[in-house]
């Protein structure tokens, strides 16, 4: 069953319930808020209990879409953090259903006067979801203008964990990264998996590797495979900053770790006129042993 209906804050929501999974998303920001494959007791995507649902406001949790820049704009701090895609209304296409029970949906965003005021380019973006026993998200950008364009993008995925201090992130060992908590210092990770205890904000560079989040509390492993991406970001605000985040608060910071499939500087995407680029994140879950 898949139905569009009014949601919180007056947003348009799609709820999908099939034998393969349960999912909820909104056209506001093309934002996937829930994905829980069959057999999982806990949602795989974390959604903040204080998330705000309103036009023009980004949603805390799920999978925000960062585009066409990541974090603060590189030359104009007055422009919205993480770009404008996560607060725009996207246009949905009809759903399709595969033989294996996977539901497919594509949402579209095209340049208009409001986007050109922030980013003077002609582009078209699509985000395609394949929602089933696994989750695949493909973000694609077309350059429809007459000059090259450069952009950053990230699928800012919040993954539910039982206790972030006990989680382990595998797959980024011996990888170069920028440590945003340590004054943007560039260093190389060691041989051990990443333990996201305390504040962590690391931009791992020139990596196409899959990541696996080991969660002994919820007794599962969440794997994030990717394609068309050369950057992985791992983020959690930690015990000092987490409670102060207005739409997070309390100890909610303990219940997620962000593992983001991205292309950011120095690996931003450059598109010639008429070219396109696709970036895909695929998430799967298995039992922890």
Of residues 212, 213, 208, 201, the one with CA closest to residue 231: 208
Residue pair 207/226 in contact by the 8 Å Cβ criterion: no
Q: How far apart are the first and last CA of the chain?
A: 34
Considering 140, 152, 212, 260, which one is annotated as catalytic?
260
Considering 82, 140, 156, 212, which one is annotated as catalytic?
156
What gap in Å lies between CA 112 and CA 121, rounded to an integer? Answer: 9
- Alpha-helix residue ranges (DSSP H) falling in the chain: 113-118, 238-241
Largest CA distance in the chain: 54
What gap in Å lies between CA 254 and CA 119, rounded to an integer? Answer: 36
State yes or no: is 260 an active-site residue.
Answer: yes
State yes or no: is 277 an active-site residue.
Answer: no
The set of catalytic residues is 156, 260
């Amino acid at each position: 069953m898949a139905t569009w209906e009014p949601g919180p804050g007056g947003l348009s929501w799609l709820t999908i319930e099939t034998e393969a999974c349960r999912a909820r998303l909104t056209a506001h920001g093309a934002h996937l808020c829930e994905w829980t494959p069959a057999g999982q007791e806990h949602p795989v995507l974390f959604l903040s209990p204080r998330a705000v649902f309103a036009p023009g406001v980004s949603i805390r949790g799920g999978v925000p879409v960062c585009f066409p820049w990541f974090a603060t704009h590189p030359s104009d701090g007055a422009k919205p953090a993480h770009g404008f895609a996560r607060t725009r209304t996207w246009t949905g296409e009809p759903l399709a259903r595969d033989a294996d029970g996977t539901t497919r949906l594509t949402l579209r965003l095209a340049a208009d006067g409001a986007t050109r005021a922030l980013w003077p380019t002609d582009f078209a973006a699509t985000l395609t979801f394949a929602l089933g026993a696994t989750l695949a998200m493909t973000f694609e950008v077309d350059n429809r203008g007459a000059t090259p364009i450069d952009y950053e993008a990230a699928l800012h995925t919040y993954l539910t964990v039982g206790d972030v201090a006990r989680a382990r992130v595998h797959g980024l060992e011996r990888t170069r990264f920028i440590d945003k908590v340590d004054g943007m210092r560039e260093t190389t990770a060691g041989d051990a998996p990443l333990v996201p205890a305390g504040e962590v904000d690391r931009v791992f560079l020139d990596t196409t590797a899959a990541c696996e989040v080991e969660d002994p509390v919820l007794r599962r492993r969440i794997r994030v495979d990717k394609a068309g991406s050369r950057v992985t970001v791992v983020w959690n605000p930690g015990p000092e900053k987490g409670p102060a985040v207005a739409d997070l608060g309390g100890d909610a910071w303990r219940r997620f770790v962000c593992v983001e499939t991205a292309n950011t500087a120095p690996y931003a995407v450059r598109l010639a006129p008429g070219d396109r680029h696709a970036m895909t994140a695929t998430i799967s879950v298995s039992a922890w042993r």
